[in-house]
Each structure stands twice: as C-alpha cells, then as structure tokens.
Chains A and B, each alone.
Chain A
Amino acid sequence: MLPEHLDSNQHIRKMLMSEATQCDFTIQFYQSETYLHEAYKTKQPDLIVLFGSFYKPNTDIYNLITQTSRYLGTRVAAWITEDPYEFDCNYLLPKLVDFVFSNDKNSCNYYHSQNVYHLPLATAFNTLEPLAEPEWDFVFCGVGFANRIDIIEGLQDILKNYSTLIIGSNWSKQITENFFTRTQVDYDELISIYRNSKIVLNLSRYHNIANQIYEIVPSTVAPRTFEVAAMGIFQLVFFDRPEIHEYFTQEEIITFSSKQEFAYLADKYINNPQLRHSIANEAKQKVHKEHLYRHRLQTLLQQVLNNL
C-alpha cells in the first residue's frame, strides 16, 4: 500500500485491513516506504499484493516491484484502485507482476493480457444506521467535476425545494450560491452527515489523471456506492453505468436518467421514510452478503489459486 502521507483514500485501506481479519488466511499489511525492508523480517509470504494507486508515489514503484519479486521469490499481484483514470501508468503492470486486478471492468479489456481480472472495490461490514429524523433531504459529497456540475445545475430547480448540502471543492458559483456547501470534511464526519440525510446523491466521476491513450470510459461504480449502501442509507444514482445492476437489482438501488424522473423520485421518496428504509435495507443486506472486502479478498485468492 502507499505510504500513509501519500494516501488520499485512507478509509479504504482501513476498511480493507479490518475486513482482512474475517478471512481464513493471514494477511500482513505494510504501509510505509521501507516496507520491503520490514517484509524481510516476516515469514516468507505466499503472495504479495500491491494495493492502490501506481501514479502518485515518490518512490520508484516499478523498481520496488522488481525487487520484491526477485528477493522474496514470491508471486506478486497488483490490485489497481484507480482505473481508468490512471490507466496510462498501469498498463505495463501485467508484464511486471503475476496477476493484475483492476477496480474497473471496462479497463480490463485494454491491457490485452490474459493475467488481468476485474475486482471492484467494496466496503467494510457496518452496524451504523441512518438517524430517525435526518436534517438533510439531499447530500452529495465529491469534487465538483464538470459532469457533476452539469447534473447539480440541471437539477437545481428541484433540489432548491429541499434542504440540500453539497460537500467538496471546485463547485460552480451557481451551486455554491444556491445550496448549503462545505468544502472539506473528514471521512468520520462524512459518515455522520450521510446518516443525517434522507437521500445521498450518487454521481459518477469522469475526470482523468492519465488516461490519454485510449480515453477509457469507466464502467464499474465507485466504492462509495457500496459504502453508503452498507450504512443502510438510501441513495439516488445517476444511471450512467448500467454495470451497477450486476451488483444491485432495480429493487435494491434506485436510479434516474432525467430531470423529470429525478423530480418524480424525489417527491416519492423524501416523504416516505418506510419505503426508503425498506429499499436501503435490501441494498445493505446485498452488500453484507456479497460486497465486503472480505469477499473481494477471497475472490482474489481464489483467482490466483485457479491460475497458478
């Protein structure tokens, strides 16, 4: 994993580590620049998994991979978490490691390699519940990428009728002037806000860091979808990634494709807590059954064993 000070998604690492304790195999985590040195001190592992982004580190990650496999003599897998946004930095990985797992299904096709598998991100088991009397009608948290600004501005007439909170940076003046906004919250506070909301808006990201070669369009939903579902909070998802129905049925996750549809759904669900809770509960059960990191780790290991 990335050293802590370079890791912008620490909550994902924490979830992964807590879920690993539920697996029937032992996982040792290293999150520092000297992890190779530390790894020498432990018992020879059967598999090393490099997890996260391969774009940001100041360390020479490719050199580290080579050293790892050479000195430890162990099979190495890479679980990429930032496809397709950083794909141009990842596409050589199948030649460097034994197994590549990509968070994005569509991106898997672009490696033109047989040792690449799809492994979406997930969430941790969660006992939290939404609050009985939520303060916010709608909450969205994320960077104001162009596509998200288009959506919020497009839905502005409707959202203005409700108490709506937008969290994150880079939002347009039109949005910051019309809605309650917060620029930054940590993950624990975000959870509190989500629990205090009736509906969480789920809007995809289309913002590339290094995706010039093929301009790959993402197909797999972001892990936030699983995280919110695991808390039993109702979400409305903009339906631009039909792959979502490979994880949730239309009875478990409600999507919208147009302003008209959004207006209808907002009206239907805002004032009907029972209906919201019933659907959110279905999604929560599904996540606890199939979309926790413990399930992903089992899948990863099984895939490796199947292809040794």
Chain B
Amino acid sequence: MINRILIHNTKTTNNNYHLLHSLWQAFKETSLQIQISQPQTLQLFIKNFQPELIICFGGEQISPTIENLKSPNTKWILWTTEDPFEINFNKQIAKHFDIVLTSDKASQNLYSHPHCYYLPLAASKNWFYHPVIKQPSKLLYDLIFIGTAWPNRTKFLKELISLLKQNHLTSRFILPTNPHIPQNTLSDVDIIKFERDFRLAPTDLANLQNHSLFALTLFRDFSGDGNPRPQSSPTNRFYETALAGTGQIIVSNDINIPEFYPEIKDHIFQLQNAREIIDTITYIKQNPEIRNYAASSVQQFVIDNHSYSHRVKELLKIVDNLNN
C-alpha cells in the first residue's frame, strides 16, 4: 500500500514548473502524503520522508547515480515530458526505473522497457481556467499565438501574419526565443522584437488566450540537437488552451486532434494552412455562436477527462497493476 509519494523535479532549471506544480496539487486532493524534491534535495527527502513511490518528473538531466539511492521498499517512476525530443537520453536512463511513462504516444514503442506506458500531460484549472467570453466586443484579438519561435514555424507564421494584416484581422504573436534557437530565426517575420520576444506567466498566457476569438496551437518538431522529430500526440498546451476558454485552431501535419479525440471532432478547428485560418476567422466573426459553443465544449471535455487528477488516478492504477 502506497502512502508517501515524492515528486522529484529532475531539472536544475525548470521553466515549465507549472506542470509539476499541477501534479502536486492533484496529489494534494487525495489522502496520500506528497512532497516535492529538487536535484539538490532528493537524497534528503528520501532519508527523511521515506517515500514508497518516487516520480521523477521531466526526464533529461537525471543522473544514473540514482541507482545508488534505490531500495526494495520504493518504486521509481520516470515520467518524461520532452519526448520525442529527448528520447535518446531518456532511453539510456529508463532501465533504472520500475515504470516509464512518456507524454508522447509514439515514443512508448521506442523504449525497450517492460513497463512503459503513454501518459499524456494535462491541464490544471488553477492555472488556466477562464469562462468563455461570449460577447465579441470584450475580446482583444481575433487570433493569438504564444509559443517558442522554433525554426519550422517561421515560414508559416510569416505568411499568416501577412495575411492577417491584409485582411484587417487583429492578432498578437508572442514568440519568446531561447538559446537553442538559431539567431535571426525571426528576422523575416514582420513583428518588431519588443512586440514578440518576452515570456508570460502561465496565468497571463491563459488570460490573453481567453480574450482572443481564437488561439492557435502549433506542435513542435525541433529538438535541442537540431534533429527534426514530430510529436505524435497532444501536448499540455492543447489541454491548457482548451481550459483557457477560447476557440482553438490547430495546424499540424502530425497530430490530428479529431482523430485523436473523436468526441470533440466538431469543436476543434483543425486546419491545413494560413489561408484556411483567415477564412475560418472571417466566417466565425459573422457567426460567433459557433466558436462559443466549440470553446465551451472542448473546455468541458478537458475538465471531464484531462485534468491532473485524472492522470494521478491513471498513474496509481499502473502502479497497482505492477504491484499485483
């Protein structure tokens, strides 16, 4: 019987900490005891808290020396959140764990581990929920995109921004850069640096999405080592945008949300190109009730099925099965 659970933040610097915090909040809602450790405090927590289950959340950066910390009374889980981009490293350390969970569906088959499962990330109402704004006059933008300026996105974004301007549609693009992105990646995009290059708090991100007719979701196919690898399943941003209460436009060659979640196929705007986005926005501006209904439906779908409480239940079921 598991009672004490330790969530271990595997990264020395973690600017996606809200994921881990949401998982912690979901465990707090159960009767289990839950603590969070950092790379520098893992040993201390193992000694003093004596967890029966340790969830190493994130992947990457974990040292194989964790092998020395293992004991027969503790189960170790690796939950990778950056697959397929960090799969090479994660595969190397997977053998040290009793269970491997990956947030990318196709990556599940790449681990030669007897207990590897697909467990997607999710979204927490505490961070992202906003009621859908139904009066168009209260919205700030027709389209918003907030995401890292990965090189594969720039050609598409350049065309989209140009078309939005031509069609007098209001938009906001916030495209923070990072050291992994080649310099001048955005030199062709017609947005001045100060307008696009800053980070937002997760709650502020949701706030801006909420005040937009549509939020654009793009998936990533660029890794730190420069090799293109497509994601195969929805990321946390899909669920988070749904909770933010906005119409969600998805452009992806690799992930088809209506196929992934047929329950919401009529409420997701999965489109192919910039032209389709313009046409969709133009049409919805005349028929806002379609967007409002879609946004509410997708939001409810995520509340009902894709919170971290749902993931906690699934995770504990996997652990139970292993113990049995």
A residues within 8 Å of B by Cβ? 105-106, 109-110, 112, 147, 150-151, 153-155, 206, 212-219, 238, 240-243, 257-259
Contacts and interface: CB of A to CB of B under 8 A. Distances in A.
Contacts of B21: 109-110, 112
Given A109-B21, A112-B24, A215-B15, A241 B195 contact: no
Interface in B207-221: 207-208, 211
Contacts of A240: 198, 200
B38 interface: yes
Contacts of B36: 112
Contacts of B86: none
B197 interface: yes
Nearest to B39: A213
A242 B13 contact: no
A214 B15 contact: yes
A259 B203 contact: no
Interface string B188-210: 00011111011111111001100
A219 B201 contact: yes
B89 interface: no
A118 to B, nearest CB: 11
A140 B159 CA distance: 35
B13 A241 contact: no
B311 interface: no
Contact of B203 (A212, A214, A219): A219
Given A110-B17, A112-B36, A151 B208 contact: no
Nearest to B138: A250
A214 B194 contact: no
A112 B38 CA distance: 13
A259 B195 CA distance: 8
A242 B208 contact: yes
A17 to B, nearest CB: 31
B211 to A, nearest CB: 8
Interface in B150-206: 172, 191-195, 197-204
B204 A257 contact: no
A243 B204 contact: yes
Given A109-B127, A112-B36, A242 B204 contact: yes
B17 to A, nearest CB: 4
A219 to B, nearest CB: 4
Smallest CB-CB A-B distances: 8 pairs:
A106-B201, A219-B201, A150-B194, A215-B15, A242-B207, A154-B194, A151-B194, A214-B17
B18 interface: yes
Contact of A150 (B13, B18, B197): B197
17 contacts: A105-B203, A106-B201, A106-B203, A109-B126, A109-B127, A150-B193, A150-B194, A154-B192, A155-B194, A206-B198, A213-B12, A215-B14, A240-B198, A242-B208, A243-B203, A243-B207, A258-B192
A174 B10 CA distance: 42
A218 B199 CA distance: 9
Contact of B200 (A151, A215, A217, A238): A217
A210 to B, nearest CB: 13
Given A109-B21, A110-B21, A112-B36, A257 B195 contact: yes
A151 B193 CA distance: 8
Given A153-B194, A213-B12, A258-B191, 13 more contacts: A147-B194, A147-B197, A147-B198, A154-B194, A155-B194, A213-B14, A214-B15, A216-B201, A217-B200, A217-B204, A219-B204, A242-B204, A258-B192
Nearest to A242: B207
Contact of A218 (B201, B207, B211): B201
A110 B211 CA distance: 25
A267 B11 CA distance: 48
Contacts of B197: 147, 150
B13 A215 contact: yes
A112 B199 CA distance: 22
A106 to B, nearest CB: 4
Contacts of A217: 199-201, 204
Nearest to B141: A257
Interface in B13-69: 13-15, 17-18, 21, 24, 36, 38
A105 B200 CA distance: 13
B13 A212 contact: yes
A153 B193 CA distance: 10
A112 B14 CA distance: 15
Nearest to B165: A260
Nearest to B211: A242
Given A109-B127, A214-B17, A217-B199, A154 B193 contact: yes
A232 to B, nearest CB: 27
A227 B123 CA distance: 37
Nearest to A261: B195
Interface string B110-130: 000000000000000011000
A164 B208 CA distance: 30
